[in-house]
């Protein structure tokens, strides 16, 4: 499910949401070009522009980082930067909010924005052919917004919905309290989304004045990247050279001048969140610390064998992290420690400070460690840059705060062990007066800060794959080559000539119906896979992954749009991605993990803790979907169980997990239940030659699927939401057995519902932030069709009435041809976004093979208005759909 209007709010990739666009006059499309240099220019307005050619994707990113964040807002007007981010999507001359959305949709473009402490970043990702028009519209939005009065009041309601949603999330409340305690009385204490009272009091003229002051050329940094030459990319930014220059970037305070350094504060922990300690360390005034060295210092601190590794061995610690907060005029080093419910506050704080002091006094990291971390960091950057818009999402703050060349925010210069050692001595040596800490704990009241103790100063080459005879392959979806190994494992290969990365997706079929033990047993098993094998313990597995520069994901942790489609009862998975030359090593490790998994008590504790967190998240974030599934399938049906289980379900035991795992080639990872898909530059025959010795043994078999039990819909009426709930979820749905020839029409009918939900419920009345309609495949070829809105309890009746009208209205008033073309452009945009990375393309192929999708036989037919109306009459009649309301 996705929204059709871009509104990213509270910081964090998870809050990012979707919008789209098209353009007026025709402009000559950009020509593809091989990679060349990455020039940086300064326009007449003062805007700095970086062009970053990236050949092969067929797409172009246009991103603008504006010097306007929560630090820059007037006192008592928190949230103004975020409010303005919303308003710029509400209209320019000649286009209202719907006009902007529909324009982008017709272009097949994806536009979004998000606000942070010191910047607001806007970006659009478009096919190369429409990049000129898409970027032109984004420039108009930034420089010529109309900010209509009606839109101002509507967006105010939408933002209050967002803030209420954040207040319903225990982890978000904890983190806001920590921020407020760490920087009490300073601009850094402000929540990026704003305080509800300030938002309610905001006046349109204040926001207009804020826009005029901050949205100027001298306060903009522009990234233009993608499949075009540097000159063509730079040309897209030329319109920003003609805007008002302004008075230069905001003059922000140096955080080292803030009061409160050298102190520790305690804040009350909200129910449902884990305790967390956060320490902030500022750099010294008398030495310049290179940001790239600072970032590598943070990576070393949190590495499995880094200076903070000893903290992970404590019984009261469940997680340790470190990072560099990109800010101007100076970055800040942050260390976070998540704990059990009863930590010893003073003893743990001292342990962290002593670990940092030892780091400053030591000889620095081993060269091999920094080499490993640097390779992993480069590979992570390369993975991110495959998905061009992730460069804006994940590197936007670094780009906005870069003290030197802009390119170094995206591709940092090399850093050696000596530079990291120097950064550790400078940053952590004698840092008592440059450190501040806050601890969120149960059963405490926020009080006066206490002083902190003084920190003091105290890969070998691999043999080539064996040659094998060429194998006869079957054509598969999306141009893949597909084969079945003798043991029943399905193998799909996408040959991507010229690529530099591989993506691997292992789909384990029929998750919910095959699971034994308590709900969530299979989820826990997958979370244990990276905790060790019979040949490598957890630290060795982590070291191998770092050496290979491979990212591994074995369970759900959805954070970024268009890369979060794994939370399903139909299958579990393992996915890996990294440099193409690491594929042989990745396959070896994958085979070890699924054939010979071994885990320690500590690994079991980490995985169990992650499962508990997933259960809480599922209970709070998917209540409406869950209630709908129980009504449609029956409360005891495998499809109605949350993948991780419910918070009150018993935790699986070690014995139950091992019973589910079984022994290769039987058990959970039995080859007939596996679909392995790989996208890489290697030819299919070479990929098969790598796979067969590792995963091709076992008795002869054919692929197996199911069987799934029949649905037994519940007869009871849905329970109403509790009055005190901070939000309610209204959901309508049905199980639809849709003939293949009518699926495109139903899909467009659902796109129409989603489009009208956005226009009426969100944009016109501001009653909801999260909403959408769509369909998910079910076993046996059926579809789960649903429309869902999350809103506040007081809006429930109005939302139910509107949603019923919208569902019924598609049959009577289907979209016209122009709207169908726009919605089909939106579909193509989603396909573009879901296929930017090799691992995403491998995952998409795996799903297609699981569901039995045939190879494409030609261009996808676009349904007519009459076909859409017929599909809506048959499957979207609210009188025959099931309605539920959940928390």
pLDDT tens digits, one per residue of 575-600: 999 999 999 999 999 999 999 999 99
Quick check: 597 and 661 in contact, CB under 8 A?
yes
Check residue 174 and give its pLDDT.
94
pLDDT tens digits, one per residue of 84-104: 999 999 999 999 999 999 999
Measure the CA–CA gap between 794 and 652, rounded to whole angstroms. 39
Whether residue 3 is predicted with pLDDT greater than 80 in this model: the reply is no
SS3 436: strand
Starting from the edge strand earliest in sequence, which strands make up the sheet with 317-325, in order? 317-325, 332-339, 276-281, 435-441, 263-268, 450-451
Domains along the chain?
13-242 (3.30.830.10), 260-390+402-451 (3.30.830.10), 474-695 (3.30.830.10), 728-886 (3.30.830.10)
| Residue 218 φ then ψ, to 5° | -70, -10
Check residue 721 and give its pLDDT.
40
Measure the CA–CA gap between 160 and 167, rounded to whole angstroms. 10
Whether residue 82 is predicted with pLDDT greater than 50 in this model: the reply is yes
Quick check: 118 and 325 in contact, CB under 8 A?
no
* 233 or 341, which is more confident: 233
Query: Of the spans 448-452, 494-498, 500-504, which averages the highest pLDDT?
Result: 500-504
Residue 676 pLDDT level (bands cut at 50, 70, 90):
very high
Q: Taking Cα atoms as reference points, which of 165, 139, 155 lies closest to residue 49? A: 139
Mean pLDDT of 714-722: 52
Check residue 19 and give its pLDDT.
31
Among 261-265, 562-566, 683-687, 750-754, the least confident range = 562-566
Whether residue 32 is predicted with pLDDT greater than 60 in this model: the reply is no
Check residue 711 and give its pLDDT.
86
Check residue 541 and give its pLDDT.
93
SS3 533: strand
The C-alpha angle with vertex 842 and arms to 749 and 775, in degrees rounded to 5, equals 20
Among 30-34, 483-487, 613-617, the least confident range = 30-34
> How confident is the prediction for the chain on average, in pLDDT?
86
Burial of 740 (0-12, 13-18, 19+ CB in 10 A): exposed
Quick check: 146 and 91 in contact, CB under 8 A?
yes
Check residue 464 and give its pLDDT.
36
Mean pLDDT of 181-197: 92
Q: How many CA atoms lie within 13 A of 436 on its CB side?
A: 20
Quick check: 840 and 503 in contact, CB under 8 A?
yes
Whether residue 766 is predicted with pLDDT greater than 90 in this model: the reply is no
pLDDT tens digits, one per residue of 800-836: 999 999 999 999 999 999 999 999 888 888 888 778 8
For the record, the structure tokens of 550 come out as 């491979």
Mean pLDDT of 182-211: 93
Check residue 578 and give its pLDDT.
93
Check residue 459 and give its pLDDT.
31
* 312 or 487, which is more confident: 487
Q: H helices of 402-451, where?
A: 407-410, 417-428
Q: Taking Cα atoms as reference points, which of 458, 398, 421, 425 lies closest to residue 296? A: 421
| Residue 99 φ then ψ, to 5° | -65, -40
Q: Is the dihedral of CA 419, 422, 428, 433 positive or negative?
A: negative
Residue 58 Ramachandran class (φ > 0 left, ψ -120 to 50 alpha, else beta):
left
Whether residue 265 is predicted with pLDDT greater than 60 in this model: the reply is yes
Whether residue 242 is predicted with pLDDT greater than 70 in this model: the reply is yes
Whether residue 284 is predicted with pLDDT greater than 80 in this model: the reply is yes
Quick check: 146 and 93 in contact, CB under 8 A?
yes
Mean pLDDT of 454-473: 43
Q: Taking Cα atoms as reference points, which of 295, 340, 126 lies closest to residue 224? A: 126
Neighbours of 459 (CB within 10 A): 13
* 459 or 867, which is more confident: 867
State the residue for tokens 């404590």.
314
Whether residue 668 is predicted with pLDDT greater than 90 in this model: the reply is yes
Percent of the chain scoring above 90 in pLDDT: 61
Check residue 854 and give its pLDDT.
63
Sequence-separated (6 or more) residues with CB below 8 Å from residue 879: none
**Whether the bond into 77 is cis, omega within 30 of 0:** no
Q: What is the pTM of this model?
A: 0.72
Residues linked to residue 61 through DSSP beta bridges, in sequence order: 125, 225
pLDDT tens digits, one per residue of 390-447: 889 999 999 999 988 999 999 899 999 999 999 999 899 888 889 999 999 998 887 7
Whether residue 315 is predicted with pLDDT greater than 60 in this model: the reply is yes
Check residue 469 and give its pLDDT.
38
Dihedral, CA of residue 503, residue 506, residue 511 and residue 515, to nearest 10? -130
Percent of the chain scoring above 70 in pLDDT: 89
Measure the CA–CA gap between 158 and 281, rounded to whole angstroms. 36
DSSP assignments along 462-494, one per residue: PPPPPP------EE-GGG-EEEE-TTS-EEEEE
Mean pLDDT of 613-628: 75
Quick check: 115 and 8 in contact, CB under 8 A?
yes
Element (H, E) at 592: helix 583-595
Whether residue 719 is predicted with pLDDT greater than 70 in this model: the reply is no
pLDDT tens digits, one per residue of 292-304: 999 999 999 999 8
């Amino acid at each position: 499910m996705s929204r059709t209007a871009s509104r990213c709010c509270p910081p964090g990739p998870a809050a990012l949401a979707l919008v789209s666009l098209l353009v007026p006059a025709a402009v000559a499309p950009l020509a593809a070009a091989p990679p060349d240099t990455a020039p940086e220019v300064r326009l007449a307005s003062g805007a700095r522009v970086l062009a970053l050619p990236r050949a092969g994707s067929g797409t172009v990113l246009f991103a603008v980082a504006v010097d306007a964040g929560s630090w820059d807002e007037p006192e008592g007007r928190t949230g103004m930067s975020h409010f303005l981010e919303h308003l710029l999507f509400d209209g320019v001359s000649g286009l209202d909010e719907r006009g902007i959305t529909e324009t982008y949709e017709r272009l097949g473009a994806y536009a979004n924005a998000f606000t942070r402490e010191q910047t607001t970043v806007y970006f659009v990702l478009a096919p190369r052919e429409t990049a000129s028009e898409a970027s032109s519209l984004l420039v108009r939005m930034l420089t010529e917004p109309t900010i209509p009065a009606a839109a101002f009041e509507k967006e105010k309601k939408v933002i209050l919905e967002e803030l209420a949603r954040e207040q319903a999330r225990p982890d978000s409340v904890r983190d806001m309290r920590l921020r407020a305690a760490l920087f009490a009385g300073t601009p850094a204490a402000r929540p990026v989304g704003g305080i509800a009272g300030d938002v309610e009091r905001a006046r349109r003229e204040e926001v207009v004045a804020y826009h005029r002051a901050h949205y100027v050329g001298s306060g903009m940094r522009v990234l233009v990247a993608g499949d075009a030459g540097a000159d063509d990319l730079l040309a897209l930014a030329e319109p920003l050279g003609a805007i008002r220059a302004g008075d230069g970037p905001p003059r922000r305070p140096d955080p080292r001048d803030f009061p409160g350094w050298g102190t520790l504060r305690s804040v009350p922990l909200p129910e449902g969140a884990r305790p967390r300690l956060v320490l902030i360390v500022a750099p010294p005034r008398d030495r310049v610390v290179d940001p790239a060295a600072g970032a590598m210092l943070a990576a070393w601190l949190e590495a499995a064998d880094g200076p903070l590794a000893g903290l992970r061995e404590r019984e009261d610690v469940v997680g340790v992290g470190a990072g560099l907060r990109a800010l101007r005029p100076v970055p800040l080093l942050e260390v976070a420690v998540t704990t059990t419910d009863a930590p010893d506050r003073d003893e743990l704080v001292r342990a962290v400070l002593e670990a940092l002091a030892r780091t400053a006094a030591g000889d620095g990291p081993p060269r091999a460690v920094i080499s490993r971390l640097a390779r992993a960091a480069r590979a992570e950057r390369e993975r991110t840059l495959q998905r061009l818009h992730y460069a804006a999402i994940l590197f936007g703050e670094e780009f906005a705060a870069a003290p030197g060349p802009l390119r170094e925010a995206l591709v940092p210069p090399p850093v050696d062990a000596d530079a990291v050692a120097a950064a550790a001595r400078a940053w952590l040596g004698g840092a008592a007066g440059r450190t501040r800490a806050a601890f969120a704990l149960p059963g405490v009241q926020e009080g006066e800060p206490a002083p902190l103790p003084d920190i003091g100063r105290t890969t070998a080459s691999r043999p080539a794959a064996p040659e094998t005879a060429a194998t006869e392959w079957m054509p598969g979806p999306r141009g893949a080559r597909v084969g079945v190994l003798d043991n029943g494992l399905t193998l799909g290969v996408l040959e991507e000539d010229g690529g530099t990365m591989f993506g691997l997706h292992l789909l384990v079929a029929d998750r919910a119906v095959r699971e034994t033990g308590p709900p969530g047993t299979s989820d826990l098993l997958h979370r244990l896979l990276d905790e060790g094998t019979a040949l490598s313990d957890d630290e060795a597995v982590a070291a191998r992954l770092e050496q290979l520069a491979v990212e591994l994901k074995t369970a759900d942790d959805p954070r970024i749009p268009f890369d979060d489609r794994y939370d399903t009862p139909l299958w579990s998975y393992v996915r890996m991605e990294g440099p193409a030359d690491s594929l042989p090593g990745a396959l070896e490790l994958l085979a070890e993990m699924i054939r010979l998994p071994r885990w320690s008590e500590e690994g079991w504790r980490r995985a169990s803790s992650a499962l508990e967190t997933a259960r809480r998240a599922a209970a709070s974030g998917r209540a409406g979907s869950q209630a709908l599934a129980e009504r449609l399938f029956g409360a005891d049906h495998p499809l109605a169980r949350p993948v991780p289980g419910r918070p009150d379900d018993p935790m699986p035991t070690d014995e139950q997990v091992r019973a589910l795992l079984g022994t290769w080639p039987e058990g959970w990872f039995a080859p007939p239940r596996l679909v392995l898909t790989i996208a890489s530059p290697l030819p299919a025959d070479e990929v098969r030659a790598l796979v067969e010795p590792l995963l091709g043994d076992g008795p002869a078999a054919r692929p197996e699927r199911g069987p799934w039990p029949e649905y037994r819909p519940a007869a009871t009426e849905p329970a109403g939401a509790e009055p005190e709930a901070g939000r309610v979820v209204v959901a309508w749905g049905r199980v639809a057995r849709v003939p293949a020839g009518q699926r495109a029409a139903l899909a467009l009918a659902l796109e129409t519902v989603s489009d009208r939900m956005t226009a009426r419920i969100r944009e016109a009345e501001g009653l909801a932030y999260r909403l959408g309609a769509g369909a998910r495949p079910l076993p046996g070829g059926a579809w789960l069709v649903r429309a869902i809105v999350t809103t506040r309890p007081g809006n429930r009746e109005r939302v139910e009435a509107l949603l019923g009208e919208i569902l019924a209205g598609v049959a009577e008033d289907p979209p016209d041809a122009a709207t169908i073309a726009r919605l089909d452009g939106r579909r193509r945009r989603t396909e573009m976004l879901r296929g930017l990375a090799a691992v995403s393309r491998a995952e998409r192929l795996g799903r297609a093979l699981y569901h039995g999708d045939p190879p494409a036989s030609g261009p996808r037919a676009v349904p007519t208005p009459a076909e859409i109306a017929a599909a809506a009459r048959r499957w979207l009649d609210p009188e025959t759909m099931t309605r539920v309301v959940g928390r």
